Structure 1
Amino acid sequence: MAQNRKKAGTRLTGRIVLPGNPSYNAARMEFNRRFSKFPRVIVFCRRTQDVINAVKWARERGVRLRARSGRHSYEGFSAVNGGVIIDVSEMNKAKVNRKNMVAHIQTGNPLARVYRKLWNKRVTLPAGTAPDVGIAGLTLGGGIGLLSRKYGLTCDNLKQVKMVVTSGRYGAKTIVANKKKHADLLWASRGGGGGNFGIATAYTFRVRPISTVSIYSITWKWRDLGKVFPAWQRWAPSVTNRLTSTIEVAAKQVGTIVSTGQLLGGAEELLRLIRPLLQVGTPVKVMVRTVPFIEATNFFAAADLNLEPKFKITGAYGFKPLPRKGVRMIRDFLSKAPNRHATVWCQSLGGAGSAVSRVSPTATAYPHRKAETIYELSARWRNDGEQQRNIQWVKRFRKALRPFVIGDYVNFPDLQIKNWPKAYYGVNIARLKRVKRKYDPHNVFRFAQSIPVGSR
């Protein structure tokens, strides 16, 4: 009886949304509309105590829980049927200390808001491009973007995490992880993936001064693929680490190849640096200009707007340029894409003095340090009738490229990868399991690809 009384203890606090509430449908929706899950309750937390109460409430009742910030989990891991979603998106304060060059950022902030807040003090953080991605999951998975080659991943600039973790049989508490205390949890929070150990509520980052940057965009026609893609792959890692670039090959129905990038430097220098690309094939559109950094973030964010609402994505790393056979595969698959919304996107990560590859693969939980590029294969659609065809296309495409690429980025999760612990975490999986066992021994924070508590 005493145990039952204990179980009835905690009350939910914060903004509570239940089935039947007018806002329930909007509150349960994921960014990827392929998933439509129906939680028992959604708790929009406004302070740390709301998070603690929600974790306790779920544990006392044996109800499954999920952590959520930006809703961008590609495989819907931040939603759950019949459980509780603990949403931190209303915890969105951000404060910059320019003297010490640090920022204190609550985990409910989307990227666009982070960039804006930091820009007010003329500082920034190397992070991604999609404006509505949450800083929480982005950081925990690594954080790749257009300042990566110069300043590293988002997680490389993470100095401290505040996290709500389990305590005892039904409890929850806040702990602070930094280099001095709970250093193992800080290590795991730098690339170990979101929602594995607890619910992060606040980060402290090292920030960098920023003013203007130069950006470029080059467009070619489809017929230049065989020349342009290999040229970009050779060039991107060899150019100065002040320049991070991308290339995206659209489906043949669209028929374009677009490379974009950002340089910490002037337009004249950028024009000189991209000359090797301009000399390949026949560029049909070229843009090079110097802009305030905040304008550059808006330029790259625009690419993420107006996309089809349902999608399947997988990722992989290239440690060397694709051979001719690999480039042919890209051409073949995009020639037979399920619709015009399929793409292959790549970003430069490593190479000439890159800050990403200067870090040891075991210094943080993010192991893919020596990769030169990251790939994202994506298919998008609107109608459910198209779903299987798109998912199968991505699956076949990944399999075809397997001889030439390695692993996957945990922020591009893919439920079809059988040995996902190795794909995401490589050499670090055993240590991540130890951290999991220490901070979440009862496996409260679990989902389809959460780090297992495993004995080894």
Structure 2
Amino acid sequence: MAQKLKKKSTRLTGRIVIPGNPSYNTARMEFNRRFSKFPRVIVFCQRTQDVINAVKWARERGIRLRVRSGRHSYEGFSTVNGGIIIDVSEMNKVKVDRKNRVAIVQTGNPLARVYKKLWNKRVTIPAGTAPDVGVAGLTLGGGIGLLSRKYGLTCDNLKQVKMVVASGRYGAKTIVANRKKHSDLLWASQGGGGGNFGVATEYTFRVRPISSVSIYSITWKWSDLEKVFPAWQRWAPSVTNRLTSTIEVAAKQVGTIVSTGQLLGGAEELRRLIRPLLRTGTPVKVMVKTVPFIEATKFFAESDLNLEPKFKITGAYGFQPLPPEGVRIIRDFLSKAPNRHSNVWSQSLGGTGSAVSRVSPTATTYPHRKAETIYELSARWRNNREQERNIQWVERFRRALRPFVKGDYVNFPDLQIKNWPKAYYGENFGRLKQVKRKYDPHNVFRFAQSIPVGKQVKK
């Protein structure tokens, strides 16, 4: 029997956009234009009460809801046909307490704004490179970037989160999760993924002093692939944890391999550290320089600009370097890529003294602590007729590499992964279901790969 809905008493507040409004089409669009959905209403919340009202409004009417910050959900989980989108992007205050080395960051901030506001006080958090990604989803899924090996993941530096959760049959309320209260929800917010338990509205981060850093970029021709990729995979985890690096192999049509990285240290030390790479193959372009940290964030953001609007991405972790057969698979797939916008990107995470691997796989929800590297396989396109070919290429690529890699990063979600709970969460999935049952027993916050409500544990 269908549940009897409460009398519809709550009114929506905030900036409300509905079909027919001039801004509706822009408001409904996702970062990944592969998805084009038509919500019934989009509420741009400007304060916590707007969020509470939106959750109540949806529950009273039995309407599906989605939570959205930066719109970067790769599989379009933050949008919905016929439902309500609770968009928090206009909640974007940042407050820095340099003395106590904490920052209070509202949930709607894009990463570039967070970096800028923290830089004004000469502090930062370890986070990603995409300038317009929302700090919300980034943090809740883990948060990898070019300070990871020294300072850990973004979620490792999360001290407290405020969250609007469903309460009772139709209500909503704000709770605060930290080490002392609701510590299980804080744990679940450190890698458990966005939109699973409620609407996070404010994060308290531990911040790190920062001034200048040194960065490098090395470019090789595609023909050096089978020399360069294994060399980078051996080298990247073995250098000082003050250096986090990446490598990107483009489609053969583009014909380049590029490694970049960031060192907490000077340019002379960095030149010495990258010597093993410079001696590999025949580099055609080399850049090493010391810059203010904020300039480094802009440098690494450049690769995320001017991309094709539609894409399919999947991820995996490397716990040891790929064998020659694995590197050949990369070569073979990228030599037959669906177009020039396809590539493989990898970043160092673990190895010598890494702050990521020092944390136990169960201390936060993010379980991939012992991985040396992370991979992102991607294809991008503009025209719909290219879509199926690109998606199938990514899926075949993922399957071909599977003998040599493990799991996936919840911030690189992939609907084609059947056993996604194990891929994203490993041994932490059981505990995540318990947290879900406790804070969202009616499964208000749900989407295609949301944490299901776990079975009640018998005492």
TM-score by length of structure 1 reads 0.99
1-structure distance, mates of 2:335, 2:252:
5
RMSD: 0.8
- The residue that corresponds to 1:229 in the other structure is 229
- Displacement, 1:396? 0.1
Q: Secondary structure at the match of 1:315?
A: strand
Q: Secondary structure at the match of 2:326?
A: helix
Structure 1 residue ranges (4+ consecutive) displaced by more than 6 angstroms after TM superposition = none
- The residue that corresponds to 1:32 in the other structure is 32
- The residue that corresponds to 1:367 in the other structure is 367
Matches within 5 A, 1:202-217: 202-217=202-217
Per-residue Cα deviation, 1:48-98 (whole angstroms, up to 9, x for no partner): 000000000000000000000000000000000000000000000000000
Q: How many residue pairs are counted as aligned between the two chains?
A: 454
- The residue that corresponds to 1:397 in the other structure is 397
- The residue that corresponds to 1:129 in the other structure is 129
Q: Does 1:177 align with 2:177?
A: yes
- Structure 1: gaps of 5 or more residues: none
1-structure distance, mates of 2:62, 2:301:
40
* Equivalent AA in structure 1 for residue 295 of structure 2: E
* Equivalent AA in structure 2 for residue 409 of structure 1: Y
Per-residue Cα deviation, 1:153-196 (whole angstroms, up to 9, x for no partner): 00000000000000000000000000000000000000000000
- The residue that corresponds to 2:15 in the other structure is 15
Matches within 5 A, 1:36-435: 36-435=36-435
1-structure distance, mates of 2:4, 2:259:
61
Q: Secondary structure at the match of 2:403?
A: coil
1-structure distance, mates of 2:416, 2:230:
28
* Contact in 1 for aligned 2:5/2:60 (Cα 8 Å): no
Q: Secondary structure at the match of 1:7?
A: coil
- Displacement, 1:7? 2.6
- Displacement, 1:8? 1.0
- Displacement, 1:455? 1.2
Structure 1 stretch 123-132 or stretch 5-14: which is displaced more? 5-14
2-structure distance, mates of 1:148, 1:233:
17
Report the CA distance shift for 1:217/1:91 in structure 2 as closer, same or farther (over 3 A). Answer: same
Q: Secondary structure at the match of 1:374?
A: strand
2-structure distance, mates of 1:8, 1:371:
49
1-structure distance, mates of 2:7, 2:316:
44
- Structure 2: gaps of 5 or more residues: none
* Contact in 1 for aligned 2:248/2:344 (Cα 8 Å): yes
1-structure distance, mates of 2:5, 2:283:
71
% identity of equivalent residues: 88
TM-score by length of structure 2 reads 0.98
Q: Secondary structure at the match of 1:196?
A: coil
Report the CA distance shift for 1:329/1:4 in structure 2 as closer, same or farther (over 3 A). Answer: closer
* Equivalent AA in structure 2 for residue 251 of structure 1: A
* Equivalent AA in structure 2 for residue 130 of structure 1: A
* Equivalent AA in structure 1 for residue 281 of structure 2: G
* Contact in 1 for aligned 2:6/2:60 (Cα 8 Å): yes
Per-residue Cα deviation, 1:181-223 (whole angstroms, up to 9, x for no partner): 0000000000000000000000000000000000000000000
2-structure distance, mates of 1:4, 1:195:
25
Q: Secondary structure at the match of 1:403?
A: helix
